[in-house]
Amino acid sequence: MRLSSYLIDINLKNRPVKTLFMHGYTGAMDIVDSSLLESLKQADAMRDFSSIDKSILERLVKRGYVTDKTEDEEVEYVGRMARVLAKRNQLLYPKKFTIVVTYDCNFNCPYCFEKKIVKENMPHGSWTMAPEMVDKFYAAMLEIEPNEKRRNKTISLFGGEPLLKKNRGIVEYIISKGSQLGCHFTATSNGYDLDYYGDFLGKEIKGIQVTLDGTREIHDNRRPYGQTGKTFDKIISNIRLALDKGAAISVRINVDADNMNEVEKLDAFFNDSGLYKFKNFGAYATYISGEDNFNPNSYTIRNHNCNSIQHFNNLWKRQTMKIASERQIHSILNDAVCNNRAFMFIPCHCDSHIGSYIFDPFGCIYPCLEMIGRKGQIIGTYCNGVKWIEETKSRWFNRNIATVKECTKCKYAFLCGSGCYAKALDSEKDNICEDFQIRFENAVNIYIERKNLI
């Protein structure tokens, strides 16, 4: 017997005599005495576990922490498991559809990932979807998935800025056509022109993600209207409008070294202004050098440093902080703790490998929001019926842990799903782990403290 290569042991910082055990492919999770880990390491070095109490050893074997599998057998097992789970997800998860209403935007944000790509790759003329393209989108959606039960009922509106004042007519047409099929909508919006869509909020448009990068002065500097226009006060007013009408608002805060201290200030602002009193309001922060965000490489490199990441992580040590972070990790932990079952296994990083279809105004279909506008990542077209670019489509939809050799050897594989493929493509690597282990261990410690699990 040997210690499993997929044993994850996490030092609990505020409980130094305790260690969290998790297992990368059995989904087991246990809090143990730290001394047990040292005893197991010594036993593993000698390949002799006779010094471990028999009943404890039996439980360790049952949970997967100690195994009779060889390293190669464990790797092979993880690969098989990943392939099965990925196939299951593609068969069971409803397909998701997104409309890029326009590539135009009225903001000038420094970390926007679309500007340069769109200018270099998009045709001249209008960058906004025409009514005939809307008709072709819905025809393509039904062609891709004729079974209504296997289509996500929520269509996402994306941009550029989808809810521009000047887009009112085409958005109304999109909603009218979709409503006939029983669809409703969400939008990723900067929130500036939201008041022009008041009659849809809480009805056809159920939820909106709006970005705030700090309190008034900082936000207005980072997310200006055009070059110099102020935006914070109007966005807050529009958020209140949407909340009053029953739409769910999720505020996203893009954090880097320059606005790190704004997270706590925004938390206080949301509390003092009464926004937290709305049950349909929530906020989360993401460090935008992380692997799940929209930003050009130059911005990522300029702002990424370990001290900033640690500072960001430390913000959530305050128990009263209501702004969320690492939502996927906390969801995995919560599912395991509250439902007393194996944590959720993620065989691939995101929906772009399961069945995500993003339609732009020019007849292109993409699998990933970070890839829109990139000609080499088009998986199909829909101008004259759906025509797939099979090589690109297969590369995206067949990617999972099993297809990335290094990932099958990683004990965190089913927690991160092999990382963001878009970032890997940009770096010309097979996968991008970035700081996942640091983020995960920090999130675990915060979760355990907040839940008072010890």
One domain for residues 37 and 167: no
One domain for residues 94 and 174: yes
- pLDDT by position in tens, the chain (length 454): 999 999 999 999 878 789 999 999 999 999 999 999 999 999 999 999 999 999 999 999 999 999 999 999 999 999 999 999 999 999 999 999 999 999 999 998 877 777 777 777 777 667 999 999 999 999 999 999 999 999 999 999 999 999 999 999 999 999 999 999 999 999 999 999 999 999 999 999 999 999 999 999 999 999 999 767 899 999 999 999 999 999 999 999 999 888 999 999 999 999 999 999 999 999 999 887 544 444 445 445 444 555 677 788 888 878 789 999 888 888 888 877 777 777 789 999 999 999 999 999 999 999 999 999 999 999 999 999 999 999 999 999 999 999 998 999 999 999 999 988 998 898 878 888 867 888 899 888 888 888 777 6
One domain for residues 126 and 53: no
One domain for residues 284 and 329: yes
One domain for residues 135 and 63: no
Boundary-marking domain end, from 49, 68, 87? 68
One domain for residues 226 and 159: yes
- Asked if 328 and 19 count as a contact pair (C-beta separation under 8 A), the reply is no
Boundary-marking domain end, from 39, 68, 97? 68
- Asked if 231 and 222 count as a contact pair (C-beta separation under 8 A), the reply is no
Domain span at 13: 1-68
φ, ψ (nearest 5 deg) of residue 103: -95, -5
Write the DSSP symbol of residue 65: S
Q: Provide the pLDDT for residue 301.
A: 44
Per-residue burial over 116-155, b if 16 or more Cβ lie within 10 Å, else e, is: ebbeeebeeeebbbeeebbebbbebbeebbeeeeebbebb
With 0-12 / 13-18 / 19 or more C-beta atoms within 10 angstroms meaning exposed / middle / buried, residue 280 is middle
One domain for residues 1 and 87: no
One domain for residues 358 and 447: yes
**What is the pairing mode between strands 66-67 and 2-3?**
antiparallel
One domain for residues 203 and 245: yes
φ, ψ (nearest 5 deg) of residue 133: -75, -30
Boundary-marking domain end, from 44, 68, 92? 68
Rounded Cα gap, residues 92 and 149, in angstroms:
10
Listing DSSP states for 99-165 in one string gives: EE-BS--SB--TT-SSHHHHHHHSPSS--B--HHHHHHHHHHHHHH---GGGEEEEEEEESS-TT-G
One domain for residues 207 and 186: yes
One domain for residues 395 and 340: yes
One domain for residues 108 and 224: yes
Check which CATH number belongs to the domain holding 396 and give it. 3.20.20.70
With 0-12 / 13-18 / 19 or more C-beta atoms within 10 angstroms meaning exposed / middle / buried, residue 444 is buried
Domain count, the chain: 2
